[in-house]
């Protein structure tokens, strides 16, 4: 509906709203930059199940990550992520990737994975997951809002 630019704008607005509420914690510049990145990635994420900019960036990042897995000998991660990378090609649009439950579940699993391997990065993983979820939520809300607006516009034209 809004396109990738609209979703990026929605993710940016969501980031600044979330940052305003989190400003009492005095985040540093690196945390703020990571928050923006994860919010924008979250804003594009639900559309990885169609040919989109989100899917393009997802597969570019995945290719880089898989290359590092091979380079450093993390073969189990390589195999698991290769299978995971096929999922967006098999599901229908506005299905599982537009589900807030799935996005929260995915974020929780990433937090658990970080805690299993590098416990000192747990708070950072939680922060990044929060910004990712907020960005994805902005995407889903924008899609729902524009869908309702189109239906209302079509009814008024009749």
Query: In the prediction, which pLDDT does 150 show?
Result: 67
On whether residue 66 sits in a domain, the answer given is no
148 in a structural domain:
yes
Q: What is the pLDDT of residue 37?
A: 93
Which pLDDT score, from 0 to 100, does residue 103 have? 93
Integer CA distances (angstroms), 104 to 23, 64, 75, in order: 23, 24, 27
User: Which range of residues forms the domain containing residue 149?
Assistant: 3-58+93-157
Predicted pLDDT of residue 84: 81
Whether residue 119 is contained in a domain is answered as: yes
- Asked if the structure places residue 64 within a domain, the reply is no
pLDDT of residue 158: 61
Q: Is residue 82 part of a domain?
A: no
Helices 29-44, 53-72: crossing angle, 10 deg rounding:
120
| CB neighbour list of residue 105: distance below 8 Å, 6 or more residues apart | none
The whole model's pTM is what? 0.79
Structure tokens at 122: 């747990």
- Residue 79 in any domain: the answer is no
- Does residue 110 belong to any structural domain of this protein? yes
Residue 99 belongs to some domain of the structure: yes
> DSSP letters along 17-48, please?
HHHHHHGGG---HHHHHHHHHHHHHHHHGGGG
pLDDT per residue as tens digits for the range 58-109: 888 889 999 999 999 988 889 988 888 888 778 777 778 888 899 999 999 9
Tally the domains of the chain: 1
């Amino acid at each position: 509906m809004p396109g990738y630019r609209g979703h990026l704008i929605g993710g940016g607005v969501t980031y600044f709203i979330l940052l305003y509420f989190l400003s009492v914690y005095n985040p540093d510049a690196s945390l703020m930059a990571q928050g923006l990145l994860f919010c924008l990635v979250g804003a594009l994420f639900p559309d990885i199940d169609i040919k989109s900019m989100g899917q393009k960036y997802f597969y570019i990042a995945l290719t880089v990550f898989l290359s590092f897995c091979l380079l450093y000998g993390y073969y189990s991660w390589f195999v698991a992520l290769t299978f995971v990378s096929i999922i967006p090609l098999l599901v229908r649009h506005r299905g599982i990737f537009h589900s807030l439950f799935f996005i929260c579940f995915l974020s929780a699993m990433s937090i658990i994975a970080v805690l299993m391997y590098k416990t000192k990065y747990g708070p950072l993983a939680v922060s990044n997951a929060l910004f990712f979820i907020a960005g994805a939520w902005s995407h889903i809300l924008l899609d729902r809002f524009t869908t309702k607006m189109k239906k209302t516009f079509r009814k008024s034209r009749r």
